[in-house]
Amino acid sequence: MPLQTPPLRGLHDERGAKFTEFGGWDMPVEFDSIREEHVAVREAAGIFDVSHMGEIHVTGPDATTLLQRLTSNDVTQLEVGDSQYATITDEEGIIVDDTIVYRLPDEDGEATYLFVPNAGNDEAMHERWVDHRNEWDLEATVDNRTDEYAMFAVQGPEAADLVGDAAEESILDLRRFQARYVTIDGVECWAARTGYTGEDGFEFIVPWGEAETVWSAFDCQPCGLGARDTLRIEAGYLLAGQDFDYESDPRTPYEAGLGFTVKLDTEFVGRDALEQVREEGVEEKLVGFRLIDRGVPRHGYDITNTDGLVVGSVTSGTMSPTLEASIGMGYVPVEYAEPGTTLQVVVRGQSKKARVETTPFVDTV
Amino acid sequence: MSFETPDDRRYLESHEWALETDGVVRVGISDFAQDELGDVVFVELPDEGDDVTQEAAFGVVESIKAVSDLYAPVSGEVVAINDDLFDAPERVNDDPFGDGWMLEIDPDDESELEDLLTADEYEDQIA
């Protein structure tokens, strides 16, 4: 299958970006250097093209019910301009995807939402929503608009200044997870105070054809998916398909440390199974760790106890540019999950000492 | 983007360079290779006195995004390693043909260098 391309692929190429396949998209992985881009976001500001993220629009009299039944969080808590992080689980409570649900201004008097599934999951999530709507006989329109919107993130301690200057309307009064329509150089876009870096910042959902105008409105370091990954690992954020994967590493939100997204007082697919998991407790948990010995932990490396017995595997790992230390995450039995526990990560046949740490690894907003 | 490929040395298809001086062969990776890897964060090298074999892996270079084996341009004994790289692996990015060198080999057979690519041939490969 040919890769999907973001609207500004040509512009990024001219800027000297390197590209990588991610979720079926051909995305910039690095513009200058992952370290430079990473440092810019921690110390100043950077802009990311995340147009590979999906956008699914849901409206109609039963839109709220449909989202409530398919996401683990409580969408009835959302006023217009609010958003929330949620997981999408199956009947067994296994995470199918994670998402942010935005409540847009009402359309035709009906509650209206936009939710953002991960790259490559938009078609499956659209189908999931349509199938359940039909099965439950709900009245809602579900529209996959992934090909209609670009998405950019402006992140870092100076992001608010850049965004405040660029937007025609006031925007800095938005608190974290709040959003509204704003105009950037004449282009209306949906701006949310959200992000995936651990820094203050905004994400913009922009009409595909107007992408260049909005991208060019922010004079800061362009950043690729490489820095996005090192930043999110430092912040302890999970990556779908890596820190949980419906096929290869099925996990419940409780195992993944996402219990805060699970509202058992709502009715949703997977709720009953998750109530049981919560009562019985989990056997394994996602933990953060720091390598004490030299080496770089990578996805798939074994985690052992100090006797060399394999007890888990690394889901994400990197050399942290901020800490100048090797950090990572992985699932281990709860008896090894306590911060301070010594474990080992097997790097090319050699056991490297590691210590369990609480996440985030760096201070975040 | 164009990359340096100094013509005082030979190259492997796997992007290592080999520079012979007074019977000792110094080894590193090319400008192209360091750019492809991006920020180098870790280098794993053999010990002095170890033997290496032409075209066999002798070590590993890791960047933030990738892990790559390092291959020996000639067979012989390792007579020096650049242990400055353990604390300053970024030298591989900053100066791949100079301070970013990795090891020195006392070759069993200097004529093995003739098996390697010339700078022109290597430039064609990465073009």
% of chain A residues with pLDDT over 90:
99
Q: How far is A337 from chain B (nearest CA, A)?
A: 26
Residue B1 has pLDDT above 70, yes or no: no
The pLDDT tens digits for A23-48 are 999 999 999 999 999 999 999 999 99
A111 contacts A59 by C-beta, under 8 angstroms: yes
| Closest-CA residue to A263 (of A3, A67, A111) | A67
| CA gyration radius, chain B | 13
Residue B119 has pLDDT above 80, yes or no: yes
The pLDDT tens digits for A200-242 are 999 999 999 999 999 999 999 999 999 999 999 999 999 999 9
Q: What is the ipTM of this complex?
A: 0.89
Please indicate whether, in this complex, the C-beta atoms of B38 and A34 are within 8 angstroms of each other: yes
- Which residue segments constitute the domains of chain A, with CATH numbers given? 9-53+148-234 (3.30.1360.120), 56-144 (3.30.70.1400), 283-357 (2.40.30.110)
Measure the CA–CA gap between A19 and A125, rounded to whole angstroms: 26
Residue type, B126: I
Residue A310 has pLDDT above 80, yes or no: yes
Q: How far is A363 from chain B (nearest CA, A)?
A: 21
Angle, nearest 10°, between helix axes A122-136 and A63-70?
120
User: A317 to chain B: which residues are within 8 Å by CB?
Assistant: none
% of chain B residues with pLDDT over 70:
99
CB-CB: which of B39, B60, B64 is closest to A348?
B60
pLDDT at A103: 98
Please indicate whether, in this complex, the C-beta atoms of B1 and A296 are within 8 angstroms of each other: no
Q: Closest residue of B to A31, CA-based?
A: B38
First to last CA, chain B: 10
Work out the angle at residue A195's Cα, subtended by the Cα atoms of residues A161 and A172, and round it to the nearest 5 degrees.
30
Mean pLDDT in residue range A143-171:
97
Mean pLDDT in residue range A128-149:
98
User: How many residue pairs bridge chain A and chain B with CB atoms within 8 Å of each other?
Assistant: 35
Q: Which residues pair with A346 in a beta bridge?
A: A351
Please indicate whether, in this complex, the C-beta atoms of A318 and B86 are within 8 angstroms of each other: no
DSSP letters along A14-73, please?
HTT-EEEEETTEEEEEESS-HHHHHHHHHHS-EEEE-TTS--EEEESTTHHHHHHHHSSS
Mean pLDDT in residue range A239-258:
97
Please indicate whether, in this complex, the C-beta atoms of B39 and A33 are within 8 angstroms of each other: yes
DSSP letters along A262-304, please?
--TTS--TTHHHHHHHHHH--SEEEEEEEESSS----TT-EEE
Mean pLDDT in residue range A154-181:
97
Q: Closest residue of B to A348, CA-based?
A: B60
A49 exposure class (CB count in 10 Å sphere: 0-12, 13-18, 19+): buried
Mean pLDDT in residue range A62-76:
98
- Which residue segments constitute the domains of chain B, with CATH numbers given? 10-121 (2.40.50.100)
Residue A2 has pLDDT above 90, yes or no: no
Q: For chain A, what is the mean pLDDT? A: 97
pLDDT at A1: 73
Q: How confident is the model at residue A364 (pLDDT cuts 50, 70, 90)?
A: confident
Q: How confident is the model at residue A365 (pLDDT cuts 50, 70, 90)?
A: confident
- The residue whose two tokens read 């020096």 is B80
User: A294 to chain B: which residues are within 8 Å by CB?
Assistant: 42, 86
Please indicate whether, in this complex, the C-beta atoms of A294 and B86 are within 8 angstroms of each other: yes
The pLDDT tens digits for B44-77 are 999 999 999 999 999 999 999 999 999 999 999 9
